[in-house]
Amino acid sequence: MSSHHPLVIGNWKMNPATSAEAKALFLAVRKKVKRDAPVSVVVAPPFPFIPDLSRLSPGGRLPLAAQDVFYEDAGAYTGEVSGSMLASLGVSYVIIGHSERRALGETDAQVNKKILACLRRKLTAVVCIGERERDLRGDFFSVVEGQLRALCTGLSARQLAAVVIAYEPIWAIGTGKTATPEDVKEMQLFITSVLVKLYDRALGKRMRIIYGGSVKPDNAAALHEAGGMQGFLVGGASLKADDFGAIITSVIS
Ligand code: PGA
């Protein structure tokens, strides 16, 4: 098991509507993060809010994640944002390969290149994987294994150890259908076993794996205790400071 504190990331997606609302939400979340608490809390706002929020987080008390990054460092790529731009604004994490981006056409190969872009800029990549649906034959394990193998392409054990894997079954995202703690534990063991096969036991133990998909204050403690993962990627509930605060508390044992 990884020796890091649990990691709780709030993925705000395309919310809220204005910078003023984003600042108010950020400050409300910041109040929920006790200075010495054994947990790492990160907020992933939309790109335009990052500079303002970065100024509200002196010393990186509430570190910021971007919700995406482009894999080239500079050039004629209209609309894209590079890792160096994000690093220059004080961003320290980047969510990569979220299922909502994959649904817009992002491929496993692009996810892999984006991880390499993060590694070049010392940004922590939080890479999302997960099956669209579960079947009784267990074919969803091969889907997850395929995504894992693809994201690891060309990465050394040292490089992969700097990455966080977010297991987010698509059927549980924004639907209120959470995977059971047993499902989550089984997937944590499966992901670890694939990493041990691809690399070695030391890496399998070191990797940080977190869970996402309808994590709420009322299921977070059970998911954390029995699910065996090292934290959560939270969507909807991260937009309410009280709910997000309750989820943060649930991972502090
Ligand atoms: P949810 O989203 O918590 O609203 O299900 C999770 C995510 O998409 O990261």
Report pLDDT digits (tens) over 181-195.
999 999 999 999 999
pLDDT band per the 50, 70, 90 thresholds, residue 224: very high
The predicted pLDDT at position 58 comes to 80
* CA 202 – CA 207 distance, rounded (Å): 9
What residues line ligand 1, using a CB cutoff of 6 Å?
11, 168, 173-174, 212-215, 233-237
The predicted pLDDT at position 26 comes to 98
Q: Which residue has the higher pLDDT, 35 or 66?
A: 66
* Structural domain for 234, as ranges: 7-54+62-250
pLDDT band per the 50, 70, 90 thresholds, residue 3: low
Q: The domain that contains 145 carries what CATH number?
A: 3.20.20.70
* 59 HSE (CA, 13 A, CB side): 3
> Which of 67, 95, 173 gets mutated to test ligand 1 (max ligand atoms within 8 A of its CB)?
173
Active-site option among 100, 131, 168, 224: 168
In a domain, 1, yes or no: no
Report pLDDT digits (tens) over 14-37.
999 999 999 999 999 999 998 889
pTM: 0.96
Which two tokens mark 149?
A: 């193998």
| Identity of the amino acid at 128 | C
Active-site option among 21, 72, 80, 98: 98
pLDDT above 80: residue 168: yes
Handedness of CA 240, 241, 243, 248 (dihedral sign): positive
The predicted pLDDT at position 135 comes to 87
Percent of the chain with pLDDT over 90: 91
Which two tokens mark 168?
A: 């987010």
All residues at 6 or more sequence positions from 38 whose CB lies less than 8 Å from its CB, including other chains: 5, 6, 252
Taking all residues of the chain, what is their mean pLDDT, rounded to a whole number? 95
Give residue 18 CA to ligand 1 midpoint distance, Å.
21
The predicted pLDDT at position 2 comes to 57
> Which of 7, 8, 9, 11 gets mutated to test ligand 1 (max ligand atoms within 8 A of its CB)?
11
- Strand 65-66 relative to strand 40-44: parallel, antiparallel, unpaired? unpaired
In a domain, 187, yes or no: yes
The predicted pLDDT at position 137 comes to 87
In a domain, 84, yes or no: yes
In a domain, 155, yes or no: yes
In a domain, 108, yes or no: yes
Domain count, the chain: 1
pLDDT above 80: residue 243: yes
The predicted pLDDT at position 246 comes to 97
In a domain, 2, yes or no: no
Give residue 75 CA to ligand 1 midpoint distance, Å.
32
In a domain, 44, yes or no: yes
In a domain, 158, yes or no: yes
Report pLDDT digits (tens) over 78-89.
999 999 999 999
Report pLDDT digits (tens) over 139-159.
999 999 999 999 999 999 999
* CA 230 – CA 251 distance, rounded (Å): 9
Is residue 100 flagged as an active site residue? no
